[in-house]
Amino acid sequence: MRGRQLGEADRILTLLTTERGKLDAVAKGVRRAGSHLAGRLEFANECELSMHRGRSLDVVVSADILNALWTQLVRPDRFGVASLAIELVDAFCEPDLAVPDIYALLAGTLRAIAYSDDPRSVIPRFSLRLLDMLGLGPPPDDCVRCGSALGSAVAYIDSAAGGFIDDGCRERWRDLPAVTDGERENFRAVGAERGAGATMRAMPVIARAIDELMTHHLGRRPKAGVQLAELAAE
């Protein structure tokens, strides 16, 4: 998912794998022009790896590319959105804990970003699906403060509480965004599994709400998200 330089020619890689989840490994000599690994362990590439145990880190022995997206992701907005998706997975996933559903989600999201003319539109669904897989997704039909069913009553987005609240739980001094039934239905569809009435398109208020919820659970604004905002402002 990411890498940092080690010595004159090596690189330490943080990888997301199907069998062991997130792990660090060293690719020895990868920065040399003649390395058999050069060009394979690139950003967002999906590879089949052979590794062996080192004294402190696993060592990448060989890599065969399964899916290479780099040439599609070099566009600044696509690269920024892909970096954001990878940063979020890196932040939430613990080392050596297999997360096959999150692996599949990230792989599919990176492919969608690579071929999208509007890559930013991919992030709300990815973020909400990721929160759901982590057990952090808010219920769209219940107040997260008191547990009451929202029904058709006015609801508000309270990112500090982690989801929707009803009017009775709203603190009057706070200016919270209200959501309509249609917007809440959009939230439900954005987070739905494929084939269960899912949609890729989040309404503006829902996209902002998901971004705020992700920031709340992460405890900070993602670095790649800040860079994307600066890119959009140029």
Could you tell me the CATH number of the domain that includes residue 20?
Answer: 2.40.50.140
Point out which residues pair with 67 in neighbouring strands: 46
Distance between alpha carbon 19 and the CA centroid of its chain, in Å? 19
Residue 27 in any domain: the answer is yes
192-234 per-position pLDDT tens digit = 888 778 888 999 999 999 999 999 999 999 988 888 877 776 6
pLDDT at residue 204, rounded to an integer: 93
Residues 91 and 196 in one domain: yes
Residues 41 and 88 in one domain: no
Contact 130, 105 (CB under 8 A): yes
User: CATH no. for residue 198?
Assistant: 1.20.1440
Residues 14 and 116 in one domain: no
Distance between alpha carbon 8 and the CA centroid of its chain, in Å? 32
Beta strands 155-158 and 178-179, pairing class: antiparallel
Beta strands 155-158 and 58-67, pairing class: unpaired
> Could you tell me which residue, 15 or 28, shows the higher pLDDT?
15
Q: How far apart are CA 217 and CA 162, in angstroms?
A: 8
Residues 191 and 124 in one domain: yes
Look at residues 68, 88, 113 and tell me which one is the last residue of a structural domain: 68
Domain residues for the domain of 102 are: 71-138+176-233
Residue 62 in any domain: the answer is yes
Percent of the chain with pLDDT over 70: 97
Cα diameter, the chain: 66
Residue 166 in any domain: the answer is no
SS3 category, 200 = coil
Residues 10 and 83 in one domain: no
Residues 119 and 205 in one domain: yes
54-108 per-position pLDDT tens digit = 778 888 888 888 888 888 998 889 999 999 999 999 999 999 999 999 999 999 9
Residues 60 and 132 in one domain: no
